[in-house]
Amino acid sequence: MKLIIAVVQDQDSNRLSDALMKANYRATKLASTGGFLRAGNTTFLIGTEDEHIESVLSLIKENCKSRDQLVAPISPMGGNADSYVPYPVEVQVGGATVFILPVEHFEQF
């Protein structure tokens, strides 16, 4: 058994959640915040058997696409302002960051 931890952009969260439910995968959703853009994310915890890993990864890839977005930079607080750019910059957001961990023991009550 494995635990899949998938961090996805909030914009992709409902689409992925619906796809997981339709495929009969259970998932726990946690609200999270990214450190780089300080934007909202959703972290999914998905427990599944080893033979279903590729299927779950396919659902994540299909429903969590990366895209370009204009982002207003965060002003430096007490840091060096020499490299601070005061206008929006285009960055790539979305997609998913996925971790797959082994599960030694699992119980459901």
Question: Residue ranges of the domains in the chain?
Answer: 2-74+85-102
80 or 8, higher pLDDT:
8
| Closest to 12 (Cα-Cα) out of 39, 35, 37 | 39
Report yes or no on whether pTM surpasses 0.85.
Answer: no
Any residues with CB less than 8 A from the CB of 91 and at least 6 apart, and which?
37, 68, 69, 71
Rounded to an integer, what distance in angstroms lies between the CA atom of residue 31 and that of residue 60? 17
Q: Which CATH number, 3.30.70.120, 3.30.460.10, 3.40.190.10, 3.40.50.1240, labels domain 2-74+85-102?
A: 3.30.70.120
Rounded to an integer, what distance in angstroms lies between the CA atom of residue 107 and that of residue 58? 26
Mean pLDDT, to the nearest integer, of 76-97?
Answer: 65
Report the range of poorest mean pLDDT among 7-21, 42-56, 81-95: 81-95
